[in-house]
Amino acid sequence: MKIGAIEAGGTKMVCAVADENGKLIDRVTFPTREPKETFGDMIDYFKKWEIAALGIGCFGPIDLHKASPTYGFITSTPKPGWANVDVVGTFQEALGVPVGFDTDVNGAILGEVTWGAAKGVDCAIYITIGTGVGVGVYVNGGLLHGLVHPEAGHMLLARHPEDSYTGKCPYHHTCLEGLAAGPALEERWGAKGAELSGRAEVWELEAYYIAQAVTNYILAYSPQKIILWGGVMHQEELFPMIRAKVKELLGDYISHEMIFDKMEEYIVKPALGEDPGILGAVKLGMLALQEK
Ligand code: ADP
Ligand code: ZN
């Protein structure tokens, strides 16, 4: 039996096929163009594989309420042509298989919980810091949706007293995404993130903001594992800086050995390399099949 998976992003669509154990058999990437053409390529690909179910981790915002008339749609994205697009319905109709659907970051945490760094825990979060910031939340053994779905990448932060940069997010300015995502780094410092390695002041400020958000996630969700990734976190010297700052910000208030003695095991990068998103989508497909 084969399961199809899509990691649907604003610039590319990663499509893969896995066996019933979640082992990837094949993978292709299509550039994200307008929906009709992009969906057409993906549908042709999956038709060749005769999949039993499909899982999709999707950029958003998306509608996850099964009773809603727009369930499975991308809703209000600023990406031209992609607002109010029916993702689940399009694939269900074309392929005739159960379709699992969630946010890209919920997919990623599901992948890490199922096969990766958060295996066996029942509360964990996945934070990706790239072009934007997204946070996937797994609580009490399930993915968190709620009113819409968590948008914790836009958590509001206290500005560093010496930081005069206005912030890149048009909605909040001083949210994590506005202050610390890749485009903010580039605008503040005048060079792309990858070209700023070795500049201590850049990464100290970056760790200051990421650690504030992580501290808030610890206080709010009490995760047993925190996974950080995305383009910006490829600057791996950030990990020890973030761990130290989180510890300082928590100030011994959360009394647990993970925070006192095991920060290296608590705030980590994915165990699935670059694949948590696509493997999470495989798991979303498996869950959709089970539900049927
Ligand atoms: P996306 O978020 O678009 O899916 P990525 O997670 O790869 O893609 O993030 C892209 C962002 O990460 C860009 O803003 C880029 O400048 C930044 N970035 C990529 N590599 C690095 C790096 N080594 N250090 C810091 N920033 C980086
Ligand atoms: Zn914001």
Please give the number of the atom of ligand 1 that sits closest to the Cα of 234.
23
Flag whether pLDDT at 75 surpasses 90: yes
- Checking if the pLDDT of 78 tops 90, the result is no
Residue of 73, 166, 112 lying closest to 280 (CA atoms): 112
The amino acid at 161: P
Q: Which ligand is nearest to the CA of 234?
A: 1
Using alpha carbons, list the distances in angstroms from residue 180 to 52, 157, 167, 185, 292. 40, 10, 8, 6, 41
Q: In the CATH hierarchy, which fold is given to the domain comprising 120-268?
A: Nucleotidyltransferase; domain 5 (3.30.420)
pLDDT of residue 90: 98
Cβ of 32 less than 6 Å from ligand 1: no
Q: Measuring from atom 15 of ligand 1, which residue has the nearest CA?
A: 182
3-state class (DSSP) for residue 13: strand
Q: Is 255 helix (H, G, I), strand (E, B) or coil?
A: coil
The average confidence (pLDDT) of the chain is 97
pLDDT at residue 144 greater than cutoff 90: yes
* pTM for the structure as a whole: 0.97
Q: What is the pLDDT of residue 28?
A: 98
Question: Which structure tokens are listed for 69?
Answer: 């008339």
Where do the H-state alpha helices sit in 50-132? 87-95, 104-115
Q: Where are the domains of the chain?
A: 2-106+274-291, 120-268
**C-alpha torsion angle, residues 266, 262, 272, 291 (rounded to 10):** -50
Q: Are strands 267-268 and 12-18 parallel, antiparallel or unpaired?
A: unpaired
For ligand 1, atom 3, the nearest C-alpha belongs to 131
SS3 6: strand
pLDDT tens digits, residue range 271-281? 999 999 999 99
Helix axes 200-221, 238-250, angle to 10 degrees: 50
Asked if the domains 2-106+274-291 and 120-268 are classified in one and the same CATH topology, the answer is yes
Q: Architecture of domain 2-106+274-291 in CATH?
A: 2-Layer Sandwich (3.30)
CA angle 285, 289, 62 (to 5 degrees): 45
With cut-offs at 50, 70 and 90, classify the pLDDT of residue 292.
Answer: confident
> Residue 70 has which token pair?
């727009």
Q: For tokens 């761990």, what's the residue?
A: 243
Ligand 1 neighbour 202 (Cβ under 6 A): no
pLDDT band (50, 70, 90) for residue 180: very high
| pLDDT > 70 fraction of the chain, expressed in percent and rounded | 100
Q: Tell whether ligand 1 has an atom less than 6 A from the beta carbon of residue 189.
A: no
Residue with CA nearest ligand 1 atom 20:
231
Other CB atoms within a 10 A radius of the CB of residue 135 amount to: 28
